[in-house]
Structure 1
C-alpha cells in the first residue's frame, strides 16, 4: 500500500490572543482607568473643538460676546461691594476690602460655573452621546476647559483691579500660577463628579444653586476670614478652615495682597490645596469612569 502523507496542521491561534494582537477588545468591557485616560487624550482635539463650539453658542448671539466672561464677575463684585462693603460694612478688618472681595468673587465664581455647567454635561448632550462613539468624559472635560479659559481672562482683569486698589506688584504675584493650576485640576475633578451625579440624579441641578450659595458663605468670600476665628472654636473652626474653596481663595489673597490675615500659614494652605486637588481630581475621574457604560441609556 502506498504510504499516505498526513499533513500536519498548525494549532489554531486562540481568539483572545488574536484580538489582542490586532488591538481588539470586547465591546462591553470597561477600559481600565489608564486606558480611559489614554482614550481621552486621543480625543483631545475633539474636546477643544467642542469647548470652542460651546463658547460660541453661548455668547455668539449677544452684543458683547466674550466680554461677558469678564463683565459678569465684575458686576457680581460691584453688587457684593455695595451690599457688604458699603451698606453692611463687613469689610472692617480686611484691609483692602476691594481687592479682598474681588479675589473671593472671581475665584469662587470659577468653581461655581464649573459645578453648574458640569452637572449638565451629560444630560444636555444626550443626542451626541447616542449618535456617536467617544469617551463620555470628553464632555465634562470640555466644560472644564471652557471655564478655565474664561478664568484666565478674568484673572487678567482681576490683576488690574487689585493693582488699581493699591496693592503693589511683587514677586509673590507669581504664586498665582501654581494656584491657578491646582484650582484648574480641582475644578476638573468637580466637573467629572457632577457630570455623573447630574446624569443619575436629575433633581440635583435644582439644588446646586443652594449648595453653592451655602459653600460661598462658608468660604469667606464676602467678609474677612477673621469672622470665623472670632465666633467659632474647636472642631467647627477646623472644619471651616479645611474648606477647599476657603483654602484656594486664601492662597490667591496671599499671592496678590500684602498684610492680609489668612486662615492659616501659607505652608499649611499650600499643603491643603495639594491634598484637596489630588483627592478631588483623581476621585472625580474615577467616579465618572465607573459610569462610562451607562451614560445616555434610558
Structure 2
C-alpha cells in the first residue's frame, strides 16, 4: 500500500527526519562527543553519588557512622583470622597498618566492580526515561566508593601516625590513589556493561573477587612469603603484574618505612600502565554498547 506524501512532499519518514536533522534517541554519539557530554554531566554524577551515600545509611540507627565502622570491622575479622590464627603477621612490623592498607585498597576496587555491575540494571527506569550518557551511572558509583575510601584512608593515617609517625612519604598517597581511581573507573565501566547483558555475573563476582583477594598479598608480604618458600624470582615478577598488588604496594611504600625492604619490583610502573590501559579500554568498551543500554 503506497505511503501518502507528507505536506512537505517527502514520502519517506527517514528522509524527512534526515532533512530536519532528527536522529534516533538511542543513537551512539562519536567517542569524542560522548566524552565531552560525559564531562558536562559531572555535577549530576556528584549529586547522584551524594544522594546514594545518604540513602545507603538513612535507615540505619547509627547512620553514616557505619562508613567508619564497616572497614574497621572487616579489618578486625581479617586480623583475627589471618594475623592471629594463621600467623601471617609474623615477620611484619606494624601489621595492623600493613593489613588495613591492603584491606582498604582491595575493598575500594572490589566494591566498585560489584556495585558497578548492577549500576545500570538498578536504574533502568531512569535510563528509559531520560537521555544522558549512561556512563554517568557507573561513575557515580565509583565516586560513592571513593568517598568511603577517603574515610578509610583517614583512619589509616591515624593508625600510622600513632605507630610510625608522619613522614613526607605520605604525599605519595595522592598519585597512588589517583592511579587506582583511574583503574577503578575503567574496570567499573567494563563490569557495568557485562552486568547489563550477562545478569549471572553478579553471582560469579563474589568468587572472582575472593580469589583475587587471596592472590594480592593483603594478609602477608608477597616477596617475604615467597622468599621463605624459596620460590624462583620470576614468580615474584609474575605476581607483581597483579594490579591490586601494585596499588597496595605503592600505598604501603608511602606509609610504612619497613615495607621498603619487601616491596614488589616495578610497582609504580605497573600501577601506572594498568591505570591508563584500563581507563581507556573501559571507556571505549562501555561506549561501544551505549545505544543498547535500557532496551527491553
Q: TM-score of the superposition, structure 2-length normalised? A: 0.88
Superposed CA RMSD in Å reads: 2.0
Contact 1:91/1:224 (<8 A) preserved: no
* Secondary structure, counterpart of 2:59 in structure 1: coil
Number of residue pairs matched by the alignment? 278
* Secondary structure, counterpart of 1:259 in structure 2: helix
Rounded to whole Å, the distance in 2 between the matches of 1:243 and 1:188 is 17
Give 1:296 shift: 0.9
Q: Could you tell me which of 206, 217, 220 is aligned with 2:217?
A: 220
Q: Could you tell me which of 166, 169, 176 is aligned with 2:166?
A: 169
Rounded to whole Å, the distance in 2 between the matches of 1:279 and 1:229 is 31
Q: Which runs of 5+ in 1 are unaligned?
A: 1-14
Instruction: Give the number of the structure whose alpha-carbon radius of gyration is greater.
Output: 1
Could you give the per-residue CA deviations for residues 127-177 of structure 1, whole angstroms, max 9, x where no partner exists? 11111111101100100111111111111111112223x212110011001
Give 1:230 shift: 4.0
Q: Could you tell me which of 205, 210, 229 is aligned with 1:208?
A: 205
Q: Could you tell me which of 184, 188, 193 is aligned with 1:187?
A: 184
Q: Which residue of 1 aligns with 2:153?
A: 155
Rounded to whole Å, the distance in 2 between the matches of 1:62 and 1:229 is 46
Q: Which residue of 1 aligns with 2:175?
A: 178
Give 1:238 shift: 2.6
Could you give the per-residue CA deviations for residues 278-298 of structure 1, whole angstroms, max 9, x where no partner exists? 011111111101010001112
Q: Which runs of 5+ in 2 are unaligned?
A: 1-16
Could you give the per-residue CA deviations for residues 35-78 of structure 1, whole angstroms, max 9, x where no partner exists? 11111111112111111121121111112222212211111111
Matches within 5 A, 1:19-58: 19=21, 27=25, 29-58=27-56
* Secondary structure, counterpart of 1:221 in structure 2: coil
Rounded to whole Å, the distance in 2 between the matches of 1:36 and 1:255 is 36
Q: Which residue of 2 aligns with 1:262?
A: 262
Q: Could you tell me which of 94, 97, 100 is aligned with 1:96?
A: 94
Rounded to whole Å, the distance in 2 between the matches of 1:251 and 1:17 is 56
Rounded to whole Å, the distance in 1 between the matches of 2:98 and 2:119 is 32
1:233 and 2:251 aligned: no
Contact 1:229/1:237 (<8 A) preserved: no
